[in-house]
Amino acid sequence: MSYIVLWNSIAKRRRSISDTFYDNGLGTLKGYLEDKGHCVDVIDWARDDVFQAFSPLILAVIIRKFYSILMISKMKVVRKLLGAILLQMQEFLSAIQRRRLNKAIMRFAYELKKRQARILGIKLWYGDAFRNAKYLISIIKKIVPEIVLIAGGYHLTLYEEHLFQGTDFDLGVVGEAEYTLEKILNLADNYKDNWNKDRFLEEIISLAQDGEIENLLYHKNGKVFKTFRRPQSIRQSKSIPHYLIDKNKVRIHVIVESLGCDWGKCHFCVHSHFYPHYSLRDPEELIREIEAMLKIGIGIFRFAGSDTPPTFGMHIAEKIKERGLKIIYGMGSRPIKGARHQYDKLVTAYSTLIESGLRSVFMGGESGNDFINQEVMNKGVVFEDIVYTVKALRQAESKIGQKVYLSLALIYPAPLLGKITLNELRQDNIRLLDQTFPDSVMITPPGPFLHTEWYEQRDKFGFEVDENIIKKAMEYEYVLYKPPHLWPELGISLEGRPFKILLEECNEFRRQVEQELNIPTDLSDEHFLMFYAAGIRDRDEILKTKRDTMLDIVSCDYRLSRKIARKVNIFSYQLATGQRIVKDE
C-alpha cells in the first residue's frame, strides 16, 4: 500500500459561485486507488472558507459598497473617481491575497514534509491556478525535494509537453489517470523503507519505454516523451468517487454518464483532444453511483458529458423513475440535427427526463447564422435545428408542468471570412434568441485554442497569434467582469482586430442581450441548478441574484454565495435522505 496526496490547484479569488462543487475527478482517483488498497489524501482548497480566508472581509465589504454605488451612479465624474479608487483597492486586495495564498502554500509544503509524503499529484487548471501550482512546486523543490511531482487534469491533457517548459514537474498523466497512478503506486510499494526518488523515477521511465505505462508524460535528457494513450472505456468500469463530506463544499455531484462528444468536430472545440472517443456509461452503473451519493446525503447531480443525447438520457431517466429515486440534475444537450422531423420523439424524451428530475440544460448554439455554424464552427446543426430542439424542450416543460432552465451558448464575434458582416451575425443571433428565448445566454469571445481547427488552420479562419501564445494562454486569467482595457494583452487578433476589441464587441453584444432582450447573460446550467435548490426560481429573483453574486465575485465578499451554498446543501441533503433537518457536519 502506497500513499499519495492529491492537491487541487486554485486561483486566489473565486471565478464563479460553482467553484466549490465536489471535484469528481479527484474523488474518482481517490475511489479507484483506495479500492486498490492505496492510501489517498485529497487536499482541495476550492472551498468557501478557504476563498474567504484569502481576502480580509472588511476590505471586501468596502469594495462591494463602492461597486454598488458605481453601478447606479449616473455622474461621469463620480464614476471616474470611483473607478480609479477601486483599481487601487483591487491591487491592494490582490497583494494581500497573494501573500496569504503563498503562506498557505508554504505551510502545506511543511505539512507534506511532516507527513513524509513521497508522491504529490497536482490537478491543474488554467490561469492564476496554474501560476499557483508552479509556485507550490518551486517551494516543494526547496523544502521537500524528495517528493515526486505529478501533474494531471484537463489543463495538462490540453497542453501536454508544453507544461514541462518552465515547470519542474517530474511526470504528467494525460486523460483518465486512475490506471497510470495505480501502476506508479504499485511500484512505490517496493520503495517503502528505502525511498530513493531518482531510482524510482528511473524505474518508471524504463517501464514507460517498454510500453508498460500508458498516458504518461516524462522527460529524459532534456526531451519530453509521451506514452501510448489508453482508449477510455467507461461502460462498466468507472469507480465511484470517494468524498469527505465538508460543509464548505457544495453538495452537488458531477456524475460521468459519458465521456467525450458524440459529434466531436466543432472547429473551436478541444473536447475530442481530451477524449478521442465517445463512450457511454451503462445506466445501471449510473444508478449504482447515484444511490451511493444519496447514501452520503447528496441529491443534486450534474451529468459530466459534453452532450447527453435525449434518447440516451431517456434510458437513464427511466431507470431513475423505476427505482423511485428523488433527485434533481442538470446536463448538456446538443441541438439535434433534424429536430423538426423527430419532434414528437424529442418531446417524449425530454418529458421523461424532466419527470425524473432534469431542471437545467446547457446547449451550445454558437450562432444564429447558418453559414457561420456550418463553415466556421462546423457545428453540424443549423438555425432550424436549434429552434426545434428548444421548442421540444419547452413543450415537454409545459406538458409535465415543470420549469427547466436553459443556458444557450454563443460565440461572438466570430470569424466572418468576408462572407457576412458582424452586424448581420448579430442580427441573426438576436433572431435566434427571439425564437428560443433561453433563460440565459452565455456569450464567449472566439479563441483559437491549441488542438482546435481554429488553431491548426488559423490563417484560413483569420486568426493571428503571437509566437509564444501557448505559454501565454496557459497562464491567462479570463476575468469576465474586468473592463476590456484592463485585460493584459493576449497576443491574438481576428481579421485584423486585436483581442481587446473582440472583448469589447463581445461585451457590447452582452449588453444588448441584457438590456434590449431582457435575457440574463453568463448564467450556466450549474448556476441554475444552485439557484433552483436555493429557492431562487422566478425571473426577477434570478436577475437580482445574478447581479448580487457578481458583486460577490468582484469584491471577494462572498457572504451571499456562501448563503446560497448553505441553502443548496440543505436542499440536497433533504432530497437525498428525506429528512428535514441537516446537521452541520
Chain residues 369-408 in contact with ligand B12, contact rule CB under 6 A: none
Name the one range near ligand B12 by CB under 6 A: 15-23, 81-89, 203-211, 532-540.
15-23
Q: Which does 334 bind (CB under 5 to 8 A by kind): ligand B12, ligand SF4, none?
A: ligand SF4
Contact flag: residue 271 with ligand SF4 (CB under 6 A): yes
Q: Which does 364 bind (CB under 5 to 8 A by kind): ligand B12, ligand SF4, none?
A: ligand SF4
Residue 522's alpha-carbon distances to 274, 525, 566, 567, in angstroms, are 24, 10, 22, 22
The whole-angstrom separation of Cα 133 and Cα 77 is: 41
Amino acid 410 reads L
Query: Which DSSP symbol is given to 412?
Result: -
Contact flag: residue 254 with ligand B12 (CB under 6 A): yes
Query: Which DSSP symbol is given to 239?
Result: P
Residue that is written with C-alpha cell 468517487 in the block: 241
Strands 119-123 and 148-152 turn out to be: parallel
Contact flag: residue 364 with ligand SF4 (CB under 6 A): yes
Cell of 249: 463544499
Q: Which does 153 bind (CB under 5 to 8 A by kind): ligand SF4, ligand B12, none?
A: ligand B12
Residue 168's alpha-carbon distances to 26, 90, 172, 215, 477, in angstroms, are 22, 31, 11, 19, 21
Residue 382's alpha-carbon distances to 361, 364, 375, in angstroms, are 19, 12, 11
**Which is nearer to ligand SF4, 158 or 269 (by Cβ)?**
269
Q: What does the longest C-alpha to C-alpha distance in the chain come to?
A: 71
Q: Which does 10 bind (CB under 5 to 8 A by kind): ligand SF4, ligand B12, none?
A: ligand B12
Contact flag: residue 173 with ligand B12 (CB under 6 A): yes
**Which is nearer to ligand B12, 176 or 552 (by Cβ)?**
176
- x/- binding map, residues 489-528, to ligand B12, per CB under 6 A? -------------------------------------x--
Binding residues with ligand B12: total (CB under 6 A) = 38
Single residue of 30, 64, 134, 155 touching ligand B12 by CB under 6 A: 155
H/E element holding 384?
Answer: helix 383-400
Strands 300-303 and 252-255 turn out to be: parallel
The whole-angstrom separation of Cα 104 and Cα 82 is: 32
**Which is nearer to ligand B12, 181 or 416 (by Cβ)?**
181
H/E element holding 226?
Answer: strand 223-226
Nearest partner of 122 among 46, 173, 58, judged by Cα: 173
**Which is nearer to ligand B12, 428 or 552 (by Cβ)?**
552
Single residue of 15, 251, 302, 334 touching ligand SF4 by CB under 6 A: 334
Chain residues 250-269 in contact with ligand SF4, contact rule CB under 6 A: 261, 263-266, 269
Q: What is the binding site for ligand B12 (CB under 6 A)?
A: 6, 8, 10, 15-16, 18-19, 21, 23-26, 28-29, 46, 121-123, 125-126, 150, 152-155, 158, 173, 176-178, 254, 256, 270, 274, 302, 304, 306, 526
